[in-house]
Amino acid sequence: MWRAVVGLLWGPLLILIGMALAVDYRGIATRHIELAMRVVRPVPPARRPGWDDERLVRRRDFFVVLDRGFGVPVTLAGIVSSFTGAYLLTTL
């Protein structure tokens, strides 16, 4: 019983988070990457040759696309979790 309830509660949460990342709802993926880049700072451009602001922007854009791509499997996991919870609830 508890597994069905957890699946039914966890599934929609994963769907919401995954969809928000995948479609970049209100810039959530962009803000997530900008926050991560502030916490895990790259070596400053003055200390590494070839690093300029354009390269940092391209790096940020790459990780935003990667974060948005990660939203798709999270959404699919939420759908599977919801269906599994519903199946477990009906087989009690």
Residue showing tokens 């798709």: 72
Burial class of 37 by CB neighbour count within 10 A (0 to 12, 13 to 18, 19+): middle
What pLDDT was estimated at residue 62? 92
Each residue's pLDDT, cut to its tens digit, for the chain (92 residues) gives 888 888 899 999 999 999 999 998 898 888 988 888 888 766 665 666 666 677 788 888 999 999 999 999 999 999 999 999 999 989 87
* The pLDDT of residue 49: 63
Rg (CA), the chain: 19
